[in-house]
Homo-oligomer: A and B are copies of this chain.
Amino acid sequence: MMRATTETRQAVRKGERTREGILRVAVDLASVEGLEGLSIGHLAKTLKMSKSGLFAHFGSKRDLQLATIEMARSIFVDYVVHPALAEPAGIQRLWKLCDRWIGHVEEKVFAGGCFFSAASFEFDSRPGPVRTAIVAAMKEWLGILTRAVEEAKKAGHIKDGVNASSFALEIYSIAVGSQWAFQLLDEKRAHRDARETILSRIRSQVTSAARRGEFARLLKF
């Protein structure tokens, strides 16, 4: 194995930084104009870079789309999932996931709202590697929400009878509905309402122990 010289390492880091910087712009562009609207030509124009410079990073529009999805996934995980994993398993973690998820639209982490909701509806009827990558990211996210509900059941916070995957999909739906109401209908109260609705859904499924526990204030009991 060759040992990288300092210069090589710096060049690699610079290349990576550039790639990362390009992809952050691509994610914002795609969140506004759609993944299909994302072409190397369009991105080059936005970045004031040469198309050949971009081709050095991404060989094709498809590669660019796939790398953009991966970058969006990584931004989402950093903003939403990591802070939630720092919370103890149970109601706290479940709530943190919901709160940060609503927060990422509220705080405009992606310029055009929820990158993944837009990508989901854009590609749901278009088979191919882009759809496959979106499906994988969405299954991962729904899996994280479902696991958080299961952990809350195991911790004795949420009733045993609750179907974790149905409940996760219900929470998912309420959050996506609020993103829609905010982004499309300019409903200013959408985020507050979504938090209220999700909290009330969680409240309806908690055990009597959790009602008296340390989350009573969070759950507004």
User: Which of A37, A121, A126, A166 is the most central at the interface, judged by chain B CB atoms within 10 Å of its CB?
Assistant: A121
Which one of A13-21, A152-160, A177-185, A206-214 is at the B interface? A177-185
Instruction: Using CB atoms, name the residue of chain B closest to A117.
Output: B121
Report which of B37, B112, B121, B138 forms a contact with A118, defined as CB distance below 8 A. B121
Instruction: Using CB atoms, name the residue of chain B closest to A186.
Output: B135
Q: Mark A183-198, 1 if CB is under 8 A from B, else 0.
A: 1110000000100010
Collect the chain B residues with CB atoms within 8 Å of residue A135's CB: 184-185
Report which of B113, B123, B131, B170 forms a contact with A197, defined as CB distance below 8 A. B170
Collect the chain B residues with CB atoms within 8 Å of residue A178's CB: 169, 173
Cα A142 to Cα B125 in complex, Å, equals 25
* Chain A interface size, under 10 / 10 to 19 / 20 to 34 / 35 or more: 35 or more
Collect the chain B residues with CB atoms within 8 Å of residue A117's CB: 121
Which one of A28-36, A39-47, A58-66, A80-88 is at the B interface? A28-36
Asked if A78 is at the interface (CB within 8 A of a chain B CB), the reply is no
Q: Mark A134-147, 1 if CB is under 8 A from B, else 0.
A: 11001100100000
Asked if A74 is at the interface (CB within 8 A of a chain B CB), the reply is no
Report which of B33, B126, B176 forms a contact with A177, defined as CB distance below 8 A. B176
Collect the chain B residues with CB atoms within 8 Å of residue A52's CB: none
Docked-complex contact B138 and A124, CB < 8 angstroms: no
Collect the chain B residues with CB atoms within 8 Å of residue A181's CB: 169
Collect the chain B residues with CB atoms within 8 Å of residue A32's CB: 125-126
Instruction: Using CB atoms, name the residue of chain B closest to A197.
Output: B170
